[in-house]
Amino acid sequence: MALIVQKFGGSSVANAERVFNVASIITDTYKKGNNVVVVVSAQGDTTDDLIEKAKEINPNASKREMDMLLTAGEQISISLLAMAIEKLGCPVISLLGWQAGFKTNSAYGSARISEVTPDRLQKELDGKKIVIVAGFQGLNKYDDMTTLGRGGSDTSAVAIAAALHADRCQIFTDVTGVYTADPRKVENAQKLKDITYDEMLEFATLGAQVLNNRSVEMAKKYNVELEVLSSLVREDGTIVREVANMEKMLIRGVTKDTDIARISVVGMKDIPGNAFKMFSRLAQKGINIDVILQSVGRDGTKDISFTCASSNADDAVAILKDIFDMEGAVVSSDTTVAKVSIVGAGMQSHSGTASKMFGALYEAGININMISTSEITISVLIDKEYADKAVSAVHKAFFG
Ligand code: ADP
Ligand code: ASP
Ligand code: MG
């Protein structure tokens, strides 16, 4: 008898037919003699719809009230799924995040899980019940509900798998695994048999939304092997683990992030300490910085630009204006940019990976604004309107 955690995303439970489809996957697993804990997301576009509803009432609603609202999406899906399983004749109970023991910090809207106390989960499993847990939510020290950030149900599933030392953690979604590029956008995208935590973490962070990056981070930390597979098509998915079969692959995939902004400070004094001042103030505000470019000093001034999430752009500009307006430097933000990246541990031992990527962009007539690299990634900043074209061109260069 194994303990299996199964997570189903919003599209997998979007309507009654899909809820019953998922219920049958769960009950099949249960009837084979396994203990099953299920994590489920809100149905279809429920979370987006709730956000729209809130905007109609108050576009500046507090994050605390937003979380109170958004947690309702998962409350609907857990109860409906439990009802479907009741109808299929298996013992089942649905639990909200706090009932399942999820404690988080107080960062409403992007809370981090501090601990999962699985006593109630264990009690229900001991009572031979299938347990359905609301993803994406927990409780902070003020006994308020929090959410974990968009796509956070993946992280809920991994946290339960870690807390219960589950034998398997399956992430069911609407595609059959992790592909070399978004299979909905890139025709020749190929399914990967497996991928390492480090590669998947970069892939997710750089835009491949199939797994939430925090879930991969947590899976690596607690050594939870993940299987990404389809709830609609029954075939083997992709395994995410510490060591993966490289299959002589130079790179694992191509991805894009269009939710970014480029912030520029032009004409700052060319003196020591300015970069430190900038980035320490941004860090204090919790703003994550990515690709950074500094110009060569000229006439006693220099320019620095960097990218951050577009949701942080206004805050970043306000902070930098506060620092640099006095000096006469000009701060601006530009959200018409996108980041296109390739990811793969294979590039460490091969030269020519960057030139292959840049060559593909050149042939597609796409201009590169900024470049950044790590051991297993190369990212370029380009005009947003060419993002899809760039992903396809780069994908074609590496995967034919
Ligand atoms: P869920 O609702 O199940 O959490 P998501 O929408 O969050 O599903 O993630 C699945 C989607 O991720 C797919 O429909 C696909 O379009 C997208 N995606 C982006 N990049 C990739 C990739 N490299 N491999 C697979 N899917 C990807
Ligand atoms: N329902 C949440 C969202 O849409 C959490 C998730 O789907 O993982 O982001
Ligand atoms: Mg998701």
Q: Where are the domains of the chain?
A: 3-240, 245-400
**Orientation of helix 63-87 relative to helix 46-57, angle to 10°:** 140
CB 3 within 8 A of CB 37: yes
Q: How far is Cα 146 from Cα 103, in angstroms, rounded to an integer? A: 9
**Burial readout 152-189 (b: 16 or more C-beta within 10 A, e: otherwise):** bbbbbbbbbbbbbebebbbbbbbbbbbbbbbbeebeeb
* pTM for the whole structure: 0.94
Give the bridge partners for 294, in sequence order. Answer: 304
Q: How far is Cα 373 from Cα 215, in angstroms, rounded to an integer? A: 23
**Per-residue pLDDT at 387:** 98
**Which ligand number lies closest to the CA of residue 155?**
2
Give the bridge partners for 254, in sequence order. Answer: 342
Q: Of 356, 353, 365, whose CA–CA distance to 390 is shortest? A: 365
Closest residue by CA, ligand 2 atom 5: 151
**Per-residue pLDDT at 8:** 98
**Burial readout 344-353 (b: 16 or more C-beta within 10 A, e: otherwise):** bbbbeeeeeb
**Per-residue pLDDT at 324:** 79
> Which CATH code fits 245-400?
3.30.2130.10
**Beta strands 168-173; 3-8: pairing state:** parallel
The token duo for 384 is: 């947003």
Ligand 1 near 192 CB (within 6 A): no
Closest residue by CA, ligand 1 atom 21: 182
Within this chain, domains 3-240 and 245-400 share the same CATH topology: no
**Per-residue pLDDT at 15:** 98
CATH topology of domain 3-240: Carbamate kinase (3.40.1160)
- The tens place of each residue's pLDDT in the chain, 400 residues long, gives 899 999 999 999 999 999 999 999 999 999 999 999 999 999 999 999 999 999 999 999 999 999 999 999 999 999 999 999 999 999 999 999 999 999 999 999 999 999 999 999 999 999 999 999 999 999 999 999 999 999 999 999 999 999 999 999 999 999 999 999 999 999 999 999 999 999 999 999 999 999 999 999 999 999 999 999 999 999 999 999 998 876 667 899 999 999 999 999 999 988 888 889 899 999 998 899 988 999 887 888 999 999 999 999 999 999 999 987 767 889 999 999 999 999 999 998 888 999 999 999 999 999 999 999 999 999 999 999 999 999 999 999 999 9
Burial of residue 110 (CB within 10 Å: 0-12, 13-18, 19+) is middle
The token duo for 265 is: 């400070």
**Orientation of helix 197-205 relative to helix 213-221, angle to 10°:** 160
Ligand 1 near 44 CB (within 6 A): no
CA–centroid distance, residue 151 to ligand 2 (Å): 4
Q: Torsions phi, psi of 137, nearest 5? A: -145, 155
Nearest ligand 2 atom to alpha carbon 148: 5
**Which ligand number lies closest to the CA of residue 6?**
1
Q: Which of 41, 71, 214 to mutate to test the pocket of ligand 2 (most atoms within 8 A of CB)?
A: 41
Residue with tokens 């300015």: 274
